[in-house]
Amino acid sequence: MGIQANVKLRESLHDFKHGKQLRTRRLLMDALTPCAREIRLTKPDDSEQLAAEISTLLSLMKNAVEQHGEPLHIVLGLYGKQVKQPMRFPFYGFERVAGVSADKTAILISLMKRVQRQLDLKETCTVRDVFYINVELYKNQRMVTEWLNALSEAFELPHRDMLRVVAAQKGLCFTPIDLHHGDSMILKHQKSLIPFMDINTHFTGMWSGVDRVVVLEKDAVFNTLVDSLPVSASALIVTGKGYPDWRTRHFLNKLMLSCPPRVVFEVYTDSDPYGIDIALKYVQNCEKFVYNCPKLCYKGVLIQELLNDRLSTRGLQLLNLTIRDINFGMRLLQRAAGLELPGNNKRVLTQELQRQLFYSKKAEMNSVSNSDFASYFSKKIK
């Protein structure tokens, strides 16, 4: 009790009413506004020191609230490059509660704690793992991803996976050689999930055993090719299962940089506008270079191959393009026409898209060569 007596208390509204006189409304507002602690998340001097940076930030926040009783004013990113709206926590001010709500701050801080732990333990976990730890707070996985992205942007990390919370793997790969990277490896002759990679990952192995890297839209076709021994003996096969996730694209980029130049990169998708879009997503997307694989060539399945091939596939049904497909194709064609694509890709993709639209037909890649993709593929690479 005695100690408390020495503490100089801040004036309350009551004091102002009855004791101190403040002449203007402005002065009153200033006097009542608490002294906030601005915490700014910016690029650490050394990205290796990310864990230390996060723990400093967390302790600053803790001190501000616990020791000094100051509300937090959290800003992500530098001046002029703010990633998110600044957050006030606990909320203070005279206007009605506006801006970012308190649970967003809770999400951010909780994620920072999680990331700090992962970095300390040097372990990697998935977004899904994080999400299930506190479903009530995060509400959905997208929220976790969104705030991880925000963190990554605020710290200006070259790669979000440096936070050691990564998206769950979607893509699959099959390699004819053992691929070493860091301390681990992808075993040959078995289907594996695309491994976690960081910026320094480099794949090494007996590259002489690989002639080509084949990217497929569908995992059904992936399985067919993997089971076809003549094909899988010398081909590294990758699928992103439909629209590829970032990791699969990153993996291809790494492969492209790791393997000798003679290895060819090919992509096969459904013969419809979405297939073309998926191929484009691998070859070039507007994101950072680490997600692009410009060496990749679009090879099919081409609509005219399905047409010319019809003697061997009697009864093959080409489906009509729906109006949605047509509109999507038209927009995609406009987008593709404005892109600079390496090699023959632009010409081939544009031509293919034009033909699909003109014929107004589409087909699935599984149906080629009498539903035998492996034999189609063998013929194609001859």
Partner 1 sequence: MSKLFISTTNCGKAHEADIFGMSISNPFTVTVSGDGTLKLWKNKLLDGQQPKEHVLSKFVHKTGVHHVDVFHSMERGGIEVFLVACVSFSGQLFIYSVDLGSGAFQELDLLTKSENQKSYWCVRFFKSDDLNVPHKLVATDVKGNTIVWNLKIFREEGEADGQTSEEKDVHLVLKGEIPSPEPNFATCVDVSSKGLIVTGFQDGSVSVSQLETLRPIYVFEGFGIKGTEESSNTVRDVKFSPLGELLAVANDSGSYGCVTLYETEYGERIGNLTVPTHSSQANIANFTHDGWVFGISFNSTGEFLATCGYDGKIRVWDVKQKERVSTLNISAGDIEIEDDIVSKDELGDSLKIPPVMGVTFINKGVRGGVGSDTNEGLSCICLDRSVRWFREAGGV
CB neighbours (10 Å) of residue 119? Answer: 21
Q: Which CB atom, from 115 or from 296, has the smaller least distance to partner 1?
A: 296
The residue range among 99-107, 271-279, 283-291, 355-363 that interacts with partner 1, by the rule CB under 8 A, is 355-363
Is residue 250 a contact residue for partner 1 (CB under 8 A)? no
Give the helix/strand (H/E) hosting 145. Answer: helix 141-154
What percent helix, strand, coil does the chain show, rounded to 5?
50, 15, 35
Which of 223, 77, 53, 65 lies closest to 149 in space, CA to CA?
77
Q: Which CB atom, from 118 or from 367, has the smaller least distance to partner 1?
A: 367
Q: Which of 49, 59, 190, 351 binds partner 1 (CB under 8 A)?
A: 351
The residue range among 7-15, 21-29, 73-81, 358-366 that interacts with partner 1, by the rule CB under 8 A, is 358-366
73/221 Cα distance (integer angstroms): 52
Which residues, including other chains, have CB under 8 Å from residue 187's CB and lie 6 or more apart?
178
CB of residue 330 to partner 1, shortest distance in Å? 5
What are 165's strand-pairing partners? 125
CA distances from 283 to 135, 146, 182, 189, 371 (A): 36, 25, 26, 26, 27
The gap between the terminal CA atoms of the chain, to the nearest Å, is 90
Quick one: tokens of 208? Answer: 């002489």
The residue range among 187-195, 200-208, 209-217, 354-362 that interacts with partner 1, by the rule CB under 8 A, is 354-362
Q: Which of 11, 180, 337, 371 binds partner 1 (CB under 8 A)?
A: 337
Q: Which of 305, 342, 366, 370 binds partner 1 (CB under 8 A)?
A: 305
Is residue 299 a contact residue for partner 1 (CB under 8 A)? yes
365/7 Cα distance (integer angstroms): 77
Q: Which of 333, 349, 365, 374 binds partner 1 (CB under 8 A)?
A: 333
CB of residue 221 to partner 1, shortest distance in Å? 19
Is residue 368 a contact residue for partner 1 (CB under 8 A)? no
Q: Which of 40, 43, 117, 355 binds partner 1 (CB under 8 A)?
A: 355
Is residue 200 a contact residue for partner 1 (CB under 8 A)? no
Is residue 344 a contact residue for partner 1 (CB under 8 A)? yes
Is residue 357 a contact residue for partner 1 (CB under 8 A)? yes
Is residue 101 a contact residue for partner 1 (CB under 8 A)? no
Is residue 308 a contact residue for partner 1 (CB under 8 A)? yes
Q: Which of 98, 133, 233, 330 binds partner 1 (CB under 8 A)?
A: 330
CB 161 within 8 A of CB 198: yes
* Burial of residue 347, with CB atoms counted within 10 A of its CB: 0-12 exposed, 13-18 middle, 19 or more buried: exposed
CB 212 within 8 A of CB 263: yes
Is residue 340 a contact residue for partner 1 (CB under 8 A)? no
Q: Which CB atom, from 178 or from 309, has the smaller least distance to partner 1?
A: 309
Is residue 360 a contact residue for partner 1 (CB under 8 A)? yes
- Strand order in 264-268's β-sheet? 191-193, 172-174, 235-239, 212-216, 264-268, 296-300
Q: Scan residues 310-329 and list those touching partner 1 (CB under 8 A).
A: 310, 315-321, 323, 326-327
72/108 Cα distance (integer angstroms): 13
72/88 Cα distance (integer angstroms): 6
Is residue 359 a contact residue for partner 1 (CB under 8 A)? yes
Is residue 184 a contact residue for partner 1 (CB under 8 A)? no
Q: Do β-strands 184-186 and 179-181 pair in parallel, antiparallel, or remain unpaired?
A: antiparallel
Q: What is the CA radius of gyration of the chain?
A: 28
CB of residue 298 to partner 1, shortest distance in Å? 9
Q: Which CB atom, from 2 or from 338, has the smaller least distance to partner 1?
A: 338
The residue range among 90-98, 222-230, 233-241, 304-312 that interacts with partner 1, by the rule CB under 8 A, is 304-312
Lookup result for tokens 């006097």: 31
188/53 Cα distance (integer angstroms): 40
CB of residue 322 to partner 1, shortest distance in Å? 8
Chain residues binding partner 1 by CB under 8 A are 299-300, 302, 304-305, 307-308, 310, 315-321, 323, 326-327, 330, 333-334, 337-338, 344, 347-348, 350-351, 353-355, 357-361
